[in-house]
Amino acid sequence: MPEFVNLTIALIVAAITYGTPFLFGTLGEILTEKSGNLNLGVEGIMFMGGAVGLGGVFYYEKLTGNANGIVAVIVGILCAFIAGCIASLIFSFITITLRANQNVTGLALSIFGTGVGQFIGEYMRVSEGGYIAISNSLKGFFQNSPFPAFLQEIPVVGPILFSSSVFFYMGVVLAIAMHLFLKRSRKGLYLRSVGESPATADAAGINVTRYRYLATVIGGGISAIGGMVYIMTIAGCVWNHEGLSGVGWLAVALVIFCLWRPLSSIWGSILFGALMILYLRLNIPFIPMQIYKILPYVVTVIVLIVSSMRNQKENQPPEGLGLNYFREER
Amino acid sequence: MNKKHEPLIRLAKREMMPKGQVWAIRIGSILLALLLGGFILMAIGVNPIEAYGTIISGSLGKKTALRQTAKIAVPLLGCALAIAPCFKMRFWNIGAEGQITAGAIAASYFALYWADKLPALPLLVIMGAAGAIAGGIWALIPAFFKAKWNTNETLFTLMMNYIVIGIVRWLEGGPWEGRKGSQVIPQFAENACLPRVLGVHCGWIIVLILVVLMHIYMRHTKHGYEIAVIGDSINTARYAGMNVGRIMMRTMFISGAISGLVGFIVASGANGTLYHGVADGVGFTSITVAWLAQLNAFAMVAISGLLAVLTKGAETLQTRLAVPASISEIITGILLFCMLGCEFFINFRLILRAKKQQKEAAAEGKEANENA
Amino acid sequence: METVCAIELKNITKRFGSVVANDGINLSLNRGEILSLLGENGSGKTTLMNMLSGIYYPDEGEICVGGEKVTISSPKDAFRYGIGMIHQHYKLVDVFTAAENIVLGLDDEEKLDMNQTNAKVRAICEKYGFDIDPTKKIYDMSVSQKQTVEIIKVLYRGADILILDEPTAVLTPQETDKLFAVLRNMRADGKAIVIITHKLHEVMALSDKVAVLRKGKYIGTVNTAETNPQALTDMMVGHTVTLNIDRPTYEKPVPRLSLSGVSCFDAEGVKRLDDVSFTAMGGEILGIAGVAGSGQRELLECIAGLHPVSSGSIMYTPDEAAPSDLVGKSPMQIRKSGVAMAFVPEDRLGMGLVGSMGMTGNMMLRSWRKGKSIFVNRKDPNKLANQIWHDLEVVTPSTEFPVRRMSGGNVQKVLVGREIASAPSVLMTAYAVRGLDINTSYTIYNLLTEQKMQGVAVVYVGEDLDVLLELCDRILVLCGGKVSGIVDARTTTKEEVGLLMTRVGGKEAE
């Protein structure tokens, strides 16, 4: 096989690996924003998810001694999810019930969440004597493909389709499920109406507060899984706040880039993942590697501008995005 | 029958609360935050009173500590001042982080390449001006699109942060790299660094002057008036003959320019060089500072001071009691949550079902007078 | 068809504080009938119907649906009894399709099946003759299509008593005809329909019965076949009430503002003013009468430069200067040349006032740009604020107290006071006494008359015909964006103006 093809395949596989945390972060934020809540705390949520997820798996292995890989993955997901739910519950309470400004509260959550993530990561490191190790066999469950070897060995198709970590496939399933939920189900329709026009939804007898709470809390939980995925796959099961920082903000950008569509977030996150690692794989002269890294943001800005210039109703943010709803203020 | 559908608690906008009560609620929220933070400290086996004592003594106790604290507070305050006019206009500029960085880049250019040609004073003035202009232009871009096509400014300004930070990373490893392979921009020459006054770089004087200027700008100038009217109602602003788009762009330029100036202060005063973390989250934290101060310039001094004390104090906490310094971010977060949440009790009134009947009658009477 | 009673209202009374919005109202409607609820603005029509749809709860009286006494305390209750109301302001999600909007909020547990929903919507359309594609998005729809969606929404939920609040206010004549055809189909299907309106010709064309309200009181119900527009007008406007507003005559009125052939369109492309021509004289009060939404707002905004004029000219003649055309000038230029406008919108704030500022801040809205200094002059506005506070007896703790927190009447005093204080040569006011008590209203009338006697051309848009008749010198009547007549207020009668408002017997202007 020509080297070019090999390179491309390697690039795609790596892009998927790097894109998977984005996929979760973005899907969670899409769900949140569809309800009309702009949660800028994704960065903090992913930090918390990463630290708590790692902690959960570590202590699970430490306490049981002989850990089961599948259970460990479930523990990791659950711990991260719950951490994300708690974080976004704080956000929901302050913005939905107490009606504080969403931007400011989201930023506060970012500060708080990165602090908590950092704190837990540090605290575990110190209290466990400087190093948190997860056994290699357990790591495999997080990092290796769930498919049998013969599938992965199919030329071209094998590595691209079957060699990624289990989380990527979960993310894809989640994206499809979320797409179906938003587009096909009654609850999804109601949720979108809450995000577009809470007054209309309220008049139609839909409980705006409940929908916003549920979407934001669950969305936060999903985003948090992305943080855990980053730590357990890319960072190699050790706490790495340097690497994780900025991932949450990119996930927020990706939501815009995908125009709030769960299905687009699959290829969108792979693309963002590719841009993150492109400089390692592919050197184009005249374009310095750091410039690659800002491409996702530049592209997002362009998407934002173009969609506002076109003013197509379909591609706009949910109309009620970022605005709190108070019935008597009509 | 009618009662069945009444919720247990109902909300109503509050007319006006006595000043004393307002402050009681706000101070109460700070105490609550410290209490919650205390529980966390207790959970990890640290005596909260001792920890808070360490935070205070570690940030304000000694002269050197005090200087460190001031150094943290300066950019926070400066940037909060920058954000105030935007937020007053209800233009959600969360791109201060990038505007600081853009300003720092421009200032650094002169620091790196003009230092041998100019004496300190003109060089610093040029650096400051360049920083302000660069920050202003960086802020003007999203404002232009907002004015022209109503592009969502929250998301736009957010993206602009990462673009400019990426540019710094490129400069670090590329054109401005010091020693080959170091990925670091060299230290500025002596004459490109802000002189010290009372042991802290003189940025604090600039920022304090800005506090007064911003207060005057917002309260007493035509620009400030225009900003306030637009923030209240764009329709009324048009009725009064204001060019809303132009005012938006102008205000964003000013806001970006102040952030850019802060970028210059940080690069030239605090760090003596440019690196990608020059803004270090200040652009985000200062938004919460500005908002919690209700956009009042003098209140921002107090709040940025409070956050700086927490940050500096937590560093001492780490060295003395081995508590990770990130505790400061946690307590800051809790503090912000409590202070944001407490405004609700100032703005809204909770009406319990039992009390409802008579109040309802009064409220309806008022409504009818207005409707009739 | 046999007559089955659909709704019966017995002695319904609704008070808002001391104001009686509905006073002992009786009404009954059978299935297969269309009832028009007729009355001027503020006569309590919408309040009454809101009690049927569960938004308000009556203080006294009872409601019977299908012969049984019922309690309606929420919109959900109303639906249970098959009552559906189509409000004036549509509540639809723009990016959804018609069908998606229609099923919104239905708490069925069953799976959402858009194909089935679309089919069901199409069936309703076919049955009554609606022309709507259920898969079309709301933002692609015209106003009348949006209204159709609202109607189908109600029908989809199985309503058989429909209430439409001024459904034709936003429709073109062709669309109105279509709507009426649909309503007739529904009548044939045995639905009971109430339409709230103040357009007489529609009443005559569509309804079986007419119930008339006037100032919250029930005047009576007549069969459409047995009445005529003249009789209905008499019922609607009642007898002239003498108000004793002082009306001096100004010696030598001069032309100030001449409109010729002014037309304009709104954002949706609907013609709002159609070939309007008139002259406002300095030293007189020109009243503008017309049912709500006849183009009053657009007329004032066109003159003030806030609404684009599509054709025609607005010639303005200041003292000792050549006439100039205001069309194409900016609001600022127009204001500077001496044309002032005090428009009190429904929500009072939002146009002309800054809610979060005090009186002083709002006075500055007029003068903020004065002078070369970068600082705003607060002294003069503050003086003015104090003067208005004192002269007009505005109730406020201080001139810094946010106007949003003031009561309605005081807000209006601030607005009108400020416009008068700018010493204009043309002063336009709209709904200046909306919601004010009698004494305050007289304060405002006197202020306007004072201005007139100083040679100002005053344009007064009002709702109360009695006031127009006594305050103004001439009255211009707008109907559907056209001038249906200009009459001398001293010699005309309430009936004549009322008829012009509904264009019965309307004649071309001048």
pLDDT per position as a tens digit, A150-167: 877 787 777 788 888 899
Look at residue C481 in the predicted model and tell me its pLDDT: 85
Query: What pLDDT, on the 0 to 100 scale, is given for residue C420?
Result: 80
Instruction: Please give the residue of chain C at the shortest CA–CA distance from B358.
Output: C17
Closest to B370 (Cβ–Cβ): which among C368, C378, C408? C408
Whether residue C439 is found in the same domain as residue C331: yes
Domains held by chain C: number: 3
Residue type, A238: V
Q: Are residues C114 and C177 in the same domain?
A: yes
Residue A35 or residue B270, greater confidence:
A35
Using alpha carbons, list the distances in angstroms from residue C200 to C206, C228, C230, C236, C503. 10, 9, 9, 10, 9
Lowest mean pLDDT among A89-98, A224-233, B254-263, C241-250: C241-250
Mean pLDDT, residues C36-52:
82
Residue B358 pLDDT grade (very low, low, confident, very high; cuts 50, 70, 90): very low
Looking at chain A, how many residues does it have?
330
Distance from CA of C119 to the nearest CA of B (A): 35
| Residues C58 and C193 occupy one common structural domain | yes
Look at residues C120, C127, C129, C79 and name the one whose alpha carbon lies nearest to residue C102: C120
pLDDT band at A190 (very low <50, low <70, confident <90, very high): very high
CB-closest option in B92, B94, B329 to A118: B329
Among the residues of C345-428, which ranges form H helices? 359-367, 379-391, 408-421
pLDDT band at A145 (very low <50, low <70, confident <90, very high): confident
Half-sphere exposure (Cβ direction) of C60: Cα atoms closer than 13 Å: 11
C419 plus C437 within the same structural domain:
no
Residues C28 and C90 sit within 8 Å (Cβ to Cβ): no
Q: What is the DSSP letter of C162?
A: E
Span B326-355, average pLDDT: 82
Report which DSSP code applies to C261: E
The DSSP line for C297-336 is HHHHHHHHTSS---EEEEEE--TTS--EE-TT--HHHHHH
Mark out chain A residues that contact chain C at CB-CB < 8 A.
184-186, 189-190, 192-193, 196-197, 199-201, 203-206, 313-314, 316, 319
Our CA-based measurement puts residue C408 at a distance from the nearest CA of chain A, in whole angstroms, of 17
Domains in chain B, number: 1
Evaluate whether residue C21 is within a structural domain. Answer: yes
Buried b (16+ CB within 10 A) or exposed e, A33-58: bbbbbbbbbbbbbbbbbbbbbbbbbb
Residue C28 to residues B329, C3, C6, C210, C257, Cα–Cα distance (Å):
68, 12, 8, 11, 50
Q: Is C112 on the interface with A (CB under 8 A)?
A: yes
ipTM for the predicted complex: 0.88
Is C348 within the bounds of a domain? no
Of A184, A206, A313, the CB nearest to C105: A206
Does A311 contact B149 at a Cβ distance shorter than 8 Å? yes
pLDDT greater than 60 at residue B6: no
- Rounded-to-integer distance, Cα A303 and Cα A252, Å: 13
Over residues B24-43, the mean pLDDT reads 90
How many inter-chain contacts (A to C, CB under 8 Å) are there? 56
Give a yes or no: residue C301 inside a domain: yes
Which span out of A84-93, A205-214, C199-208, C259-268 was modeled with the highest average pLDDT?
A84-93
| Choice between C461 and A174, residue whose per-residue pLDDT is larger | A174
Say how far apart CA A57 and CA A73 lie, in whole Å.
8
pLDDT of residue A90: 95
Give domain limits for chain A.
3-329
Query: Does B173 map to a domain?
Result: yes
Residue C327 lies in a domain: yes
Which of C237, C268, C301 lies at the terminal end of a domain, its last residue? C237
Residue in chain A nearest C103 by alpha carbon: A186
Domain holding C365, by residue range, is: 353-423
Does some domain include residue B3? no
Whether pLDDT at C408 is above 70 = no
Residues of chain C whose beta carbon is less than 8 angstroms from a beta carbon of chain B are 15-19, 21, 42, 57, 71, 73-74, 306, 330-332, 335, 349-357, 361, 364-366, 368-369, 374-376, 378, 405, 407-408, 435
Per-residue pLDDT, A291 = 76
User: Among A37, A107, A260, which would you mutate to test the B interface (most chain B Cβ atoms within 10 Å of its Cβ)?
Assistant: A107
According to the model, what pLDDT value does residue B364 have?
45
Same domain flag for C298 and C177: no
Check residue C159 and give its pLDDT.
87
Mean per-residue pLDDT for C278-295?
86
Neighbour count for residue A115 (Cβ, 10 Å): 25
C119 pLDDT above the threshold of 60: yes
Residues of C in contact with A197 (CB under 8 A): 91-94
Of C420, C396, C400, nearest to C409 by C-alpha is: C396
Supply the pTM of this predicted model: 0.83
Q: Which residues of A241-278 are buried (b: 16+ CB within 10 A; e: fewer)?
A: bebbbebbbbbbbbbbbbbbbbebbbebbbbbbbbbbb
* Distance between CA atoms of residues C258 and B221, nearest Å: 39
Host H or E run for residue C340: strand C339-343
CB of C91 less than 8 A from some CB of A: yes
Contact at CB, A249 and B162, closer than 8 angstroms:
yes
**Which DSSP letter does residue C459 get?**
E
**What is the average per-residue pLDDT within C465-470?**
83
> Bigger pLDDT: A239 or A269?
A269
Q: Mean pLDDT, to the nearest integer, of A174-189?
A: 93
Is B331 contained in some domain?
Answer: no
Cβ neighbours of B52 (radius 10 Å): 17
Burial level of C59, CB count in 10 A (0-12/13-18/19+)?
middle
Min mean pLDDT across B266-280, C269-283, C307-321, C401-415 is at C401-415
Predicted pLDDT of residue C55: 77
C-beta separation of B100 from B268 below 8 A: no
Backbone torsions φ then ψ of C35, nearest 5 degrees: -110, 130
Instruction: Give the structural domain span for B154.
Output: 74-298
Query: With a CB-CB cutoff of 8 Å, which residues 85-104 of chain B face chain A?
Result: 92, 94
Q: Which DSSP symbol is given to B189?
A: P
pLDDT at B102 over 80: yes
Instruction: Let me know if B3 is exposed, middle or buried by CB neighbors in 10 A (0-12, 13-18, 19+).
Output: exposed
Residue B369: what pLDDT? 42
pLDDT tens readout for residues C330-374: 877 887 787 777 766 655 565 678 888 888 888 888 777 777 788
> Looking at the domain assignment, is residue C343 inside a domain?
no
Mean pLDDT along residues B175-194: 83
Query: What is the DSSP pairing of strand C284-289 with strand C457-461?
Result: parallel
Judged by CB atoms closer than 8 Å, whether chains meet at C93 and A197 is answered as yes
Distance of CA C425 to the CA centre of its chain: 27
A partners (3+ CB pairs within 8 A) are: B, C
Quote the mean pLDDT of chain A. 87
Q: In whole angstroms, give the CA distance from residue C357 to residue C398.
A: 11
Neighbour-count burial for C72-91, b at 16+ CB within 10 Å, e otherwise: bbbbebbbebbbbbbbeebb
Highest-pLDDT range among A82-86, A326-330, C21-25? A82-86
Same domain, C35 and C157: yes
User: In chain B, which among 200-229 make CB contacts under 8 A with chain A?
Assistant: none
In the numeric block, which tokens belong to residue B270?
Answer: 């605090």
Q: Which of A136-145, A276-285, B255-264, C163-172 has the lowest average pLDDT?
A: A276-285
By Cβ distance, the residue of A105, A123, A290 closest to B170 is A290
Residue C345 lies in a domain: no
Q: Measure C153 CA to nearest chain B CA, in Å.
A: 24
Between chain B and chain C, the number of residue pairs with CB atoms below 8 A apart is: 104
pLDDT at A25: 96
Determine, for residues A115 and B328 on separate chains, whether the beta-carbon distance falls below 8 Å.
yes
pLDDT class for A149, splitting at 50, 70, 90? Answer: confident
pLDDT of residue B365: 42
Q: Closest approach of chain A CAs to the CA of C121, in angstroms?
A: 17
Longest dimension (CA), chain B: 86
- Considering the domain boundaries, does residue C346 fall inside one? no
Identify the pLDDT of residue C340. 75
Note the helical H segments in chain A: 3-34, 42-64, 69-92, 102-127, 136-143, 149-152, 157-162, 166-184, 186-196, 198-203, 208-229, 241-244, 247-257, 262-281, 289-310
Q: To probe the interface with B, which of C22, C23, C73 has the most B CB atoms within 10 Å?
A: C73
Domain boundary among C237, C254, C277: C237
How high is the pLDDT of residue B354?
Answer: 52
Most confident of A168-182, C388-402, C426-440: A168-182
Q: Average the pLDDT over C459-472 and give the result.
A: 84
- Tell which CATH architecture fits domain A3-329: Orthogonal Bundle (1.10)
- C396 and C482 together in one domain: no
In this model, does residue C313 exceed pLDDT 80?
yes
The whole-number average pLDDT for the span C376-394 is: 84
Does C452 map to a domain?
yes
Task: Note whether C173 and C282 are same-domain residues.
Answer: no
Residue C311's CATH number: 3.40.50.300
C361 and C300, same structural domain? no
Same domain for C50 and C106: yes
